[in-house]
A and B are shown apart, each in its own frame.
Chain A
Amino acid sequence: MALLEIRGLHVHYGAIHALQGIDLAVEKGQIVTLIGANGAGKSTTLRTISGLLRPSAGTLTFDGQSLTGKGPHQIVRLGVAHAPEGRGLFANFTVEENLEIGAYARKDHAGIARDREWALTLFPRLRERLRQSAATLSGGEQQMLAIARALLARPRLLLLDEPSLGLAPQVVQTIFQIVREINAAGTTILLVEQNARMALQTAHYGYVLEVGRIAQHAPAAVLAESDEVRRAYLGVG
């Protein structure tokens, strides 16, 4: 059984039917990517998994446990961390304080200290800026902080929403390299991306979302070769 299983998921924003029956599975240990155009419902999917939105129908199962009816603070404790779109940093907090609240749901101080070290090894720039407020970081540094903060929850499943948004190509490379490292260290990742090329190079498996429905899914390498994906998302053919 997959670490995360979603069946027949429907989500509404008032009258807007944003997700119209989604089936999706994230295998343990993998990087799974969810690509799609603006407004396809990618962020909505992540928000529903982390409990920020309530589905109107469908089931979400994480590690055999149903997520239905659970609030975000309970879902974090089950091991799902969400680095939201637009980063959702606490702007007036220092980098240190942002990291600290990332571990809010945990009580194992030794483990927190270890993960903090790990996160700061992954993102050495953050170590130099621990006492700076998050608002004063550059866009790339803010993205690093958002990921690092999510890591401090010691997630078994990490939800990343457009980590490359608005970043220079070099920084994008760095971020994706680190995403691979995090995965290699044993964290399963569900990655939402506009940058389909990078996403499909990084992920093991991919889903294509089109206006609220899954249009295709296949191993990432296969998707990257598919004609529709090449035309619609990779800008070739």
Chain B
Amino acid sequence: MSSTPHIAARAAPAAWTVLPRNVGPVVAGLGLALVLNFCVQPMSGAFATKVLLDIGINIILAVSLTLVNGFTGQFSIGHAGFMALGGYVGAAVMYYGSVQLYGGAQFHGGILSWTVSQGAFAGPTFGTGDVLFLVACVAAGLVAAVAGYIVGLPSLRLRGDYLAIVTLGFGEIVRVILQSSRPQLETAAEVAQASWPRLLTQLGGALGFTTPLFYTTLFWVYLFVAITLVVTYRIKRSSYGRAFLSIREDEVAAEAMGVSTTRFKVRAFVLAAFFAGVAGALYAHSIGGINAGELGFQKSFDVVIMVVLGGMGSISGSTVAAIILTILPEALRTVTAWVNQYLPAAYALPDLRMIIYSLALILMMILRPQGLFGLHEIWDLRPWRRRRAKATGGK
């Protein structure tokens, strides 16, 4: 009998490997985050560090949206709404928390939260601020996840375009609510008097929430990148995760197999919202504040484009797409400047980079309509893998 042992092994890995299989990659990610933080960051300068931070945050956004738009085949275009929500919650927890704990919004973090470009670090290796920052990030994720649940439960019975419109509406509602919140409290006395529920309504309104607390470092960003990647990849490759993917493949058949499709769609939505919320908190503390006005549907579309370009379901694909689409506009800045220096001032094209960017997107979608790697992962496409698949498939 031609029973293939490697398949059986893949179908049911031994139970004891659960821990190494899940913790191993996170530890590897932790290592990478530390290397980026302590080896790459000091050499790269402030601008490159900023780009690396943006890349990481966009990876978290794109990969988490892959859970919804890629795995379960829904079409959400409100991801920036969850990011904004998380950003505000994270910034408020961090800022008001610092004021309450330390009497003012001063940096109390350790070396992991220190941005090198701000000068040499003097202080303890770990600070209580680190813990507060972690709490702020998780709180941001949790609030976004709850919002995801509230939006998801009624709307995920909708399909296709209808769901897209609901998520778009959600993103806009979040933006408007945040922009009409009450002014940010400035003095320690005011903050001390206010209760936490009240503090969470004092989010700065149309001016946005500003914070002097730049806790976001390459370490934190890439730690969460690693967690996001590991969680989504484990989901994709587990039999539990196959339930998500089956919805995209054929929702009715998935139901017939016993998959409770609504429940899984909500789960994907909640998980994606959680990571988007964390990304929002990281974003707020990398640029010193957050303004919902900048996180409208334009930002949601940016993330959707990353997912589509990545292949609508490929984790490595949306990761690579996030990297390319973060670097490209920055690189095109240089190109624009270079072209414009040869043009007479009257004919200068200040927006040339956005034109080239859009053309590049169109070109990429024409050349690879299925996205970078289709539904596959980059390592599934290695030529030797393909040969082996052929060899076993044809025997």
Contact = CB atoms under 8 A, between A and B. Distances in A.
Contact of A104 (B7, B250, B258): B258
Contacts of B375: 92
Contacts of A23: none
B7 A131 contact: yes
B367 interface: no
A178 to B, nearest CB: 18
Interface residues of A, number: 33
A104 B259 contact: yes
Given A100-B239, A105-B258, A109-B12, A127 B250 contact: no
B250 A88 contact: yes
Interface string B1-30: 011100100011000000000000000000
Contacts of A105: 257-258
Contacts of B393: 128-129, 131-132
Contacts, number: 84
Interface string A85-115: 0001111110011001110110001000000
A90 B245 contact: yes
B250 A97 contact: no
Nearest to B239: A100
B125 interface: no
A106 B393 CA distance: 28
Contact of A52 (B4, B11, B243, B255): B255
B249 A104 contact: no
B333 interface: no
Interface in B286-309: none
A100 B242 contact: yes
A77 B249 contact: no
A90 B250 contact: yes
Given A93-B242, A100-B11, A101-B243, A72 B250 contact: no
From DSSP, what is the main secondary structure of chain A's interface residues? loop
A50 interface: yes
Interface string B360-387: 0000000000000001000000000000
A73 B258 contact: yes
A52 B256 contact: yes
A194 B389 CA distance: 37
A89 B253 contact: yes
A153 B257 contact: yes
A84 interface: yes
A73 B393 CA distance: 33
A1 B253 CA distance: 30
Interface string A131-147: 11000000000000000
Interface in A49-72: 50-52, 71-72
A76 B261 CA distance: 14
Contacts of B2: 127-128
Contacts of A88: 250, 252-253, 256
Given A89-B250, A90-B245, A93-B242, A72 B7 contact: no
Contacts of A72: 255-256, 258
A131 B3 CA distance: 12
Contacts of B239: 100-101, 104
Contacts of A42: none
Nearest to A136: B393
B14 to A, nearest CB: 12
Contacts of B395: 128
Contact of B253 (A84, A92, A130): A84
B171 to A, nearest CB: 29
A195 B4 CA distance: 37
28 contacts: A51-B255, A52-B252, A52-B256, A71-B260, A72-B256, A73-B259, A73-B260, A76-B257, A76-B258, A77-B258, A82-B256, A88-B253, A89-B250, A90-B245, A90-B246, A90-B253, A93-B246, A100-B239, A100-B242, A101-B239, A101-B242, A104-B239, A104-B242, A127-B3, A128-B393, A131-B7, A131-B392, A153-B258
Closest 6 CB pairs of A and B: A88-B253, A105-B258, A76-B258, A90-B249, A72-B255, A73-B260
